[in-house]
Amino acid sequence: MTLSRRDLVRIGAGASAAVALGVRPGLARRPTRPFELITRPVPSSGEEIPVVGIGTARRYDVAASGAELDPLRETLATFRKLGGTLIDTAPSYGNAEVVVGDLVSELGFRDDLFIATKVRKEGRDEGNAEIASSFERLQTDRFDLLQVHNLVGIDTQLATLRELKDAGRVRYIGMSTSSGRQYEAFADVMRREDMDFIQVNYSLAARDSADVILPLAADRGMAVLANVPFGRGRLFDAVGERPLPDWAGEFDCESWGQFFLKYIVGHPAVTCVIPGTAKPHYAADNMGAAMGRLPDAAMRRKMEEYFDSLT
Ligand SMILES: NC(=O)c1ccc[n+]([C@@H]2O[C@H](COP(=O)([O-])OP(=O)(O)OC[C@H]3O[C@@H](n4cnc5c(N)ncnc54)[C@H](OP(=O)(O)O)[C@@H]3O)[C@@H](O)[C@H]2O)c1
């Protein structure tokens, strides 16, 4: 998919998307550069997925009807129009699965999406019951990805996930964490078990997963979803009102959100980053990180030094 900045302004949330992307609406006649959407292959299949997805923790935990759904509906519509496919959710995110299921069904693009959810139960029966409920809540009969959440019941749930994959109810299986305290146990499971995906926290402010987890994923042929890319919003607080450094233009970066996301997807082991995205202009801004040039290793080091100098 190729989109120009003019397309982004037209498709996104109008002027707010333009501002978020650093494009002044009055400059529509400025020469536009077409940008291919950047995708990465899932190592176990070769299927290409866009490098920016959406996370649904907290902000999608709203009532299943009412005005709070409006910005979420518009966010998902914008995300999809810009070529986004991967949505990460979990039964433990309150009402998020129900909200995603309802909105996707209303928008009518389930088949274009890559839906990832999780299971977080110790026992086999409890796990099966939670998964059955997730199928209902998300209104689908097949998950693209099912992950064991935070290593809970890991051996039991991995066995269940494999059965579901064999039965064609789940396309890919994996596991997730967002805690450095779990990295050692997480890496042990990665070494001994085959799975398609892992999900781990990674950002400019939390880089420890790049020491062992990310290289191990590359070695083991596992796709990587990067979670908590903005430190739940704290990275924006760290840069405050500062303008972007001039050199951010060298990798086609036009906002702090894109700066933080391009740092992550610039890591060759990362398949897709999943920023929590609940506003349409955030969707347009974040999808901008899936276009244009990405920072190379030297530029990523410069980004780390710059960020560290602020904190
Ligand atoms: N163990 C696990 O499996 C695990 C753990 C944690 C997270 N996750 C997954 O990872 C996803 C991402 O983590 P997260 O949502 O906790 O945190 P995050 O992505 O680091 O931060 C999300 C917050 O960043 C702000 N934001 C998003 N886009 C922005 C933009 N373009 N410009 C400015 N601000 C922007 C929003 O703040 P406001 O909404 O306040 O404006 C949003 O709530 C989760 O939603 C979840 O799917 C998984």
| Boundaries of every domain in the chain | 2-310
**pLDDT category, 30, cuts 50, 70, 90?**
very low
Q: What is the mean pLDDT of residues 46-74?
A: 97
- Give pLDDT, residue 234: 97
| pLDDT value of residue 35 | 78
90 Cα nearest atom in ligand 1:
47
Q: Mean of the pLDDT values across residues 19-23?
A: 39
Whether ligand 1 lies within 6 angstroms of the CB of 176 is answered as yes
The closest alpha carbon to 111, from 135, 142, 89, 148, belongs to 142
Say what the alpha-carbon torsion angle 139, 143, 147, 153 is, to the nearest 10 degrees.
70
Report pTM: 0.92
CA of 204 from ligand 1 middle (Å) equals 14
Check residue 180 and give its pLDDT: 98
Q: How remote is the CA of residue 261 from the centroid of ligand 1, in Å? A: 11
What's 2-310's CATH class?
A: alpha beta
* Any atom of ligand 1 within 6 Å of the Cβ of 160: no
Q: What is the overall mean pLDDT for the chain? A: 92
Q: Mean of the pLDDT values across residues 145-173?
A: 98
pLDDT of residue 17: 40
The mean pLDDT of 256-285, rounded to a whole number, is 98
CA of 140 to the centre of ligand 1 (A): 24
- Rounded mean pLDDT of 220-242? 98
Mean pLDDT of 274-290: 98
* Cα–Cα distances in angstroms (integers) from residue 130 to residues 172, 286, 298, in the given order: 18, 31, 45
